[in-house]
Structure 1
Amino acid sequence: MSDLSVMSRFVLPAFLRLTRRNRKYLDVAAAHAYIAQCAASPASYLPPKRLRGVTVTRTEDQGWPVFTLTPSSGRSRGGLVYAHGGGWVGEIATPHWRLAARLAAELDLTVTVPIYPLIPTGTAAQVIPWFAGLVLDSAERHGPTFLAGDSAGGQIALSTALHLRDTAQAKVPRTVVISPAVDLTLENPAIDTVLPDDPWLGRDGALVFGNLWRGDLPMKHPMVSPLFGDFTGLGPLTVYSGTHDILNPDTRLLVDKATSAGVDVDYHEATGLVHVYPLTPTPEGARARDHLVATLRADLDG
């Protein structure tokens, strides 16, 4: 903890607490109010006007927007499908776009960014098969295609990897999950220990979001909570998690279960860091992003 930057140790947690970033996660009423607010005034999903090193195109698939980030170099060595976080209710944000653009530009990857339907209308049963189809399409068009996602998007990415294995006998060359939500029941008793240190997330509101996202599926269905899937035969995983994140205890269970199933797991646990720390404007976040680029480059060169 003492080795953390000032930004990670003091500034970012203070900012999150002062802006009450966790208020929608703290109680049921706040969660429902946030859902209503997002539905009444949807945030823009358009990418920033300037994304370095890429050309951005937009299409629609099954009536949902899909953006493609193509390297300005004109070269493509493969593909990547990115699932953004936001609790299945928040729209894609600038840090997601910047990470997706960096992966495209520096790795010569064609990155697909689906704008998936959010709760209260979107559900796991709609979105996971759709993502699987986009991965297969990318693999056909661009070559080996990775999956990546953060938070709620980490759940989508991991559930999609399991779905591809089960329905298409397809192994994703690597799935990258950043602070993933892997068990939407949030029943792990170790979460209680982490809650006081987490300035971003909370249990009661998150359960509201998760219950809407599951739709008609059981909460422990692998399309909803991938922790309960069988990891046998899954491709390599890269996992990032901070210990000041209530999702960390379940992430540890994920890593143990996947490793026991013979999966190649590249796990990075950061003591004292918050939810989705690789997306944060901190030295630790920058190092995590550098590591992610290096990991995927090694796969491509491999």
Structure 2
Amino acid sequence: MPSFVSRIVPVYLRIARANRPFISTEGARRHIRERTLRPQPYGPPRRLRADVAVTVDHDRGWPIYTLTPRTGQPHGNVVYAHGGGWVNEIQPQHWALAAEIAVRAGTTVTVPIYPLIPFGSADVVIPAFADLVLANRIQYGEVCLAGDSAGGQIALSTAVVLRDEHQVTLPRTILISPALDLSLSNPEIPVVLPTDPWLGHDGGLVLGEHWRGPLPISDPRVSPLFAEMANLGPLTLFCGTRDILWPDARLLVDKARGAGVEVDFHEATDLVHVYPLTPTSEGRAAQAEMIAQLKTALETVRR
């Protein structure tokens, strides 16, 4: 049974109407217009933990932040893609997780502030993420990818491009409630939808249509569930069952395992979308697990 705080989270999300941008086409279009007119701030919180040094550069045309632990000798790198439906900017909980990974995994964490819709699209962003990973491999050694929700789509699609176009297999990719098929056509989605307090179907389709740009919705750079899975490298996947992305997560697990990919699947009964980012005991346990796996992956490669 979920903890008391986890049982409160859906109530809070319903009261806050967190699903407004996702439940209707007009709600999504209104949200895109609002974000276009009034972009959100993206810089790290001023009170981000003191044991992390933060730098930023704009050499690639986007702000690229790097978080480095102030003590010890960091090894390797994690590139983190934040979620937000490809339309919302990075949030404090993303920064907190990135800093936690840097300190507890003893690594550098790269946080790209990628262009959001209607200005950003998968055909531009995914190759740019792949190029960033390749550059970081030269600078830091081995690199892992991680991302939540829309950022999970970016992370997995980038892993596919790295394998297919650069013959690079990553030591670990962490996926938190990833968007996997932007057509949202899984017949189990309407079954889960009434229990999901955060996401929605019709507005989600609008956001996905913008994000795909000129690419077909089934292109793996848009919907990584359609990719071949063999030789992707190990995957770790977290998903709650009160999440319309959960049915596709189960399909990904079956498809990847069927192709011989190691998949560590954390299926959390009655928990919501991106539950590892929530201030709950389950969220803290999930973060500890992903950090341990990232640390092991980067240390094993280093040896």
The answer to whether TM tops 0.5 is: yes
Q: Which sections of structure 2, spanning at least 5 residues, go unmatched? A: none
Match among 199, 208, 215 for residue 206 of structure 2? 208
Aligned 8 A contact 1:123 1:215 in 2: yes
Map of 1:298 onto structure 2 = 296
Map of 1:16 onto structure 2 = 13
Match among 24, 38, 42 for residue 41 of structure 1? 38
TM-score (norm 2): 0.97
The one-letter amino acid of 1:111's match is: V
Q: CA deviation at 1:61?
A: 3.1
| Residues 259-274 of structure 1 mapped to structure 2, 5 A cutoff | 259-274=257-272
Map of 1:162 onto structure 2 = 160
Map of 2:48 onto structure 1 = 51
| Residues 133-148 of structure 1 mapped to structure 2, 5 A cutoff | 133-148=131-146
Task: Give the match's secondary structure for 1:126.
Answer: helix
TM-score (norm 1): 0.98
Find runs of 4+ consecutive structure 1 residues off by over 4 angstroms.
Answer: none
Aligned 8 A contact 2:105 2:292 in 1: no
Match among 178, 181, 184 for residue 180 of structure 1? 178
- Counterparts of 1:298 and 1:70, CA distance in 2: 18
The one-letter amino acid of 1:103's match is: I
Task: Give the match's secondary structure for 2:77.
Answer: strand
Match among 24, 28, 40 for residue 25 of structure 2? 28
- Counterparts of 2:26 and 2:175, CA distance in 1: 29
Q: Which sections of structure 1, spanning at least 5 residues, go unmatched? A: none
Q: CA deviation at 1:7?
A: 1.0
Task: Give the match's secondary structure for 2:21.
Answer: helix
- Counterparts of 1:31 and 1:4, CA distance in 2: 31
- Counterparts of 1:81 and 1:300, CA distance in 2: 13
Map of 1:228 onto structure 2 = 226
| Residues 42-191 of structure 1 mapped to structure 2, 5 A cutoff | 42-52=39-49, 53-73=51-71, 75-191=73-189
- Counterparts of 1:129 and 1:71, CA distance in 2: 28
Calculate percent identity across the aligned residue pairs.
57
The one-letter amino acid of 2:29's match is: H
- Counterparts of 1:139 and 1:62, CA distance in 2: 16
| Residues 235-250 of structure 1 mapped to structure 2, 5 A cutoff | 235-250=233-248
- Counterparts of 1:74 and 1:58, CA distance in 2: 21
Task: Give the match's secondary structure for 2:63.
Answer: strand
Q: CA deviation at 1:105?
A: 1.0
Task: Give the match's secondary structure for 2:128.
Answer: helix
Task: Give the match's secondary structure for 1:7.
Answer: helix
Task: Give the match's secondary structure for 2:199.
Answer: coil
- Counterparts of 1:163 and 1:173, CA distance in 2: 15
- Counterparts of 1:263 and 1:190, CA distance in 2: 24
Aligned 8 A contact 2:106 2:295 in 1: no
- Counterparts of 2:218 and 2:246, CA distance in 1: 18
Q: CA deviation at 1:62?
A: 2.9
Aligned 8 A contact 1:278 1:288 in 2: yes
Q: Residues 249, 158 of structure 1: CA spacing in aligned structure 2 closer, same or farther, 3 A cutoff?
A: same
Aligned 8 A contact 1:76 1:142 in 2: no
Query: How many equivalent residue pairs?
Result: 299
Q: CA deviation at 1:74?
A: 5.2
Map of 2:195 onto structure 1 = 197
Deviations, residues 157-201 of structure 1 (Å, cap 9, x unaligned)? 000000000111001110000000000000001001100000000
Task: Give the match's secondary structure for 2:53.
Answer: strand
Map of 2:217 onto structure 1 = 219
Deviations, residues 255-283 of structure 1 (Å, cap 9, x unaligned)? 10010011010100000000000000011
